[in-house]
Structure 1
Amino acid sequence: MNLVSLYGRVANDLELRYTNSGKAVVQFSIAVRGYNDKSNFIRCQAWEKRAENLANYFHKGSRIGVTGQLVSGRYDKDGQTHYTQDVVVNTFDFVDSKQESQRLNHGNDEAIDTAASRTNSKIGNTKRGPFENNGNQIDISDDDVPF
């Protein structure tokens, strides 16, 4: 069985391209924690609608989960043979919240976030866990959904 499951951060900005026949393709790397906490960079590729969705909703630094199949390839360049291994993405999962994703996409506003959390704690607004609502129904708006 050829099944790869990865969880990590997108290591580069995703650039959507199209083949001569009009198929969408995106290639990117995922940084994952490896042996002795060293980072491994795994090359991935996605095609057609998956490629378009990935390019629209993910960027460098986004946390992502993917499953796919490992494919090997080779090409010749300047008289030398190069071997490749990529994960062809079958499914992907959003890991960041919409707010976290937007913060990463628009730069590091850590100072603003820190000041806001200090202000919220002064007026008694403490941050609760994502599933904590004292037994009441949780209202989710369209703005809470990342797609």
Structure 2
Amino acid sequence: MSLNVVTLVGRVGGDPDVKYFESGSVKCRLTLAVNRQSKNNDQPDWFNLELWGKQADVAANYVRKGSLIGVKGSLKFDSWKDRNTGVDRTSPVVLVDRLQLLGSKRDSEGGSAESSGYADDF
């Protein structure tokens, strides 16, 4: 049996980075700050998120820096060669399957999406 499931709830670290492709595909990248459940942890853990299709459209339209969101997806690793050194590099990325907008409408600064509900339901 194998299992690759990531579930996170946190605040978005910056406005979405959205790319539209000639094929009609949409890709959105976000960073997410998640606080650990410990008494003496002042710094959040940061995660890179990648969304495609409908979830990417919803993120582009309704998610902004500071938005509270929940995501479910799988962990993947992006790989590349460093241009300067030629060394192989990798970076963990959460490939998001489901996006949930959390918080109040006030938090979203004028967004018209429901305050909760999966992007699959849009």
Query: Does the TM-score normalized on the shorter chain lie above 0.5?
Result: yes
Aligned counterparts, 1:51-62, within 5 A: 51-62=56-67
2:118 corresponds to which residue? none
RMSD across aligned positions (CA)? 2.2
CA distance in 2, matches of 1:87, 1:28: 10
1:8 counterpart = 2:10 = yes
Change in CA separation of 1:77 and 1:88 when aligned onto 2, cut-off 3 Å: same
Q: Which has the higher contact order (CA 8 A, sep 6+)?
A: 2
User: What secondary structure does 1:27 align onto?
Assistant: strand
- Residue 20 of structure 1 and its aligned partner are, at CA, apart by 4.6
Question: Gaps (5+ residues) in structure 2?
Answer: 116-121
2:114 corresponds to which residue? 145
CA distance in 1, matches of 2:29, 2:79: 16
CA distance in 2, matches of 1:31, 1:48: 23
Given the two structures, how large is their TM-score scaled by the length of structure 2?
0.79
1:77 corresponds to which residue? 82
1:137 corresponds to which residue? none
Question: Gaps (5+ residues) in structure 1?
Answer: 106-142
- Percent of residue pairs bearing the same amino acid type: 31
CA distance in 2, matches of 1:76, 1:32: 29
CA distance in 2, matches of 1:11, 1:144: 20
More deviation, 73-82/41-50: 73-82
CA distance in 1, matches of 2:113, 2:100: 15
Aligned residue type for 2:99 = F
- Residue 144 of structure 1 and its aligned partner are, at CA, apart by 8.4
Given the two structures, how large is their TM-score scaled by the length of structure 1?
0.66
1:44 corresponds to which residue? 49
CA distance in 1, matches of 2:46, 2:113: 30
For residue 95 of structure 1, the aligned residue among 94, 98, 102 is 102
Structure label with greater radius of gyration: 1
**How many residues are matched?**
109
Aligned residue type for 2:62 = Y
